[in-house]
Structure 1
Amino acid sequence: MRRRHRRQSVSPDLDITAFMNLMIVLVPVLLLGMVFSQIKMIELNFPGESAGSSAKNEQLNLVVTLLPAGMEVADSKRGLLRVLPALDRGQDYTALREVLRGIKTRYPDKTEVILEVGPDVDYQTLVTTMDTVRSYPAVVAASVVEGELFPDVSLMNAADDRVLAEAPPVENEEGA
């Protein structure tokens, strides 16, 4: 009788070169992608929620109405201050910033503004307007910094049939 000898099996080497190449490429790509996916949050308030507001700050109730046809800057007690019709390229953010800077010089402690938004205003216009009413670029000691305008923004819906008002005569350059 013959005996059969079992051959000893030799385990093959694992070739992980392709997997290592994939990891070398994938890890930096994922790390770079994390930097670009940061989310910036904008804190909002609703009109009438601030219970601790003082009577001194209540002398001006600033309302900026944003419509597709343009923007209105008004005081809810005194009425319309300035009408800024939209330009061919979009809203006139430069004029809005200048009007708000003039108001801020007269009311330096005022930080609240109500942003009344029309139904047909797109998201990018809303965010750009919010950035405009919050701050302005200022040069301090040869560097550009953000100057504060009205950082406490409250949102409110404008009526569906709301149209841009006629421009009142401008009394002074500060708009208030």
Structure 2
Amino acid sequence: MRRRHRKLTSSPDLDITPFMNLMIVLVPVLLLGMVFSQLRTIELNFPGSESGQTPSSDEFQLLVTLIPAGIEVTDSERGVLAVLPARRGAQDFAALRETLKQIKRSVPNKTDLVLQVGPDVDYQTLITAMDTVRSYPAVVAASVVEGELFPDVALMDAADNRELATRGGIPDGEGA
């Protein structure tokens, strides 16, 4: 009788080089993709949306009007506080921030503001205005933090033919 010899088979080494190459490329691509897919949301209020009524007239209200011609800041007690015309097609958000900081110093407990937006204002300008009225960069203990201005923003439509107000016969410049 003849003996059959079986071939001794050894398990081959697993070659994971292609898989490692795939992971080296795939992981950074996925990590970069996560950064671009984040969304930032802004909480909005509409005048009278909580109670179904318009705000009472005896309460101090701050109104910022944003139209292509510029920005106007008014309040319910003193009227027009500042008129900031657009310069070379760009809104003056730095002056708006300084005006709102002065107002915040005089009424520190106020957190709401109505942003009246004209129909011809583009989306990026609206978002920049909302970011400007909500907070400002402040330096505290050698680090930059966000200081609070008026975080409760309510949106409102401005009239189609709305123009900037004039203060004392001067069509532009900052008010009191």
- The alignment's TM-score, normalised by the length of structure 1, stands at 0.77
Whole-angstrom distance in 1 between the partners of 2:91 and 2:122: 12
Alignment of 1:132-171 (within 5 A): 132-168=132-168
| Structure 1 residue ranges without an equivalent (≥5) | 1-12
SS of the residue corresponding to residue 100 of structure 1 reads helix
Q: Give the AA of the match of 1:105.
A: R
Contact 2:115–2:153 (CA under 8 A) maintained in structure 1: yes
**Post-superposition offset of 1:161:** 1.2
Query: Which segment drifts farther, 139-148 or 75-84?
Result: 75-84
Alignment of 1:77-116 (within 5 A): 78-88=78-88, 90-116=90-116
Shift in alpha-carbon separation, 1:169–1:97, aligned structure 2, 3 A: farther
Whole-angstrom distance in 2 between the partners of 1:141 and 1:19: 49
**Post-superposition offset of 1:138:** 1.3
SS of the residue corresponding to residue 25 of structure 1 reads helix
Whole-angstrom distance in 2 between the partners of 1:110 and 1:50: 18
Q: Give the AA of the match of 1:47.
A: P
**Post-superposition offset of 1:23:** 4.6
Aligned residue pairs total 156
Shift in alpha-carbon separation, 1:86–1:167, aligned structure 2, 3 A: farther
Shift in alpha-carbon separation, 1:169–1:150, aligned structure 2, 3 A: farther
Whole-angstrom distance in 2 between the partners of 1:175 and 1:111: 22
Give 1:128's aligned residue: 128
Give 1:118's aligned residue: 118
- The alignment's TM-score, normalised by the length of structure 2, stands at 0.77
**Post-superposition offset of 1:81:** 1.7
Q: Give the AA of the match of 2:161.
A: D
Alignment of 1:34-49 (within 5 A): 34-49=34-49
Whole-angstrom distance in 2 between the partners of 1:167 and 1:38: 43
SS of the residue corresponding to residue 63 of structure 1 reads strand
**Post-superposition offset of 1:17:** 6.3
Contact 1:69–1:86 (CA under 8 A) maintained in structure 2: yes
Q: Give the AA of the match of 2:96.
A: L
**Post-superposition offset of 1:16:** 8.4
Query: After TM superposition, where is structure 1 displaced by more than 4 Å over at least 4 residues in a row?
Result: 15-20
Whole-angstrom distance in 2 between the partners of 1:19 and 1:144: 44
Whole-angstrom distance in 2 between the partners of 1:169 and 1:147: 34
RMSD: 2.7
Contact 2:167–2:175 (CA under 8 A) maintained in structure 1: no
Whole-angstrom distance in 1 between the partners of 2:77 and 2:102: 18
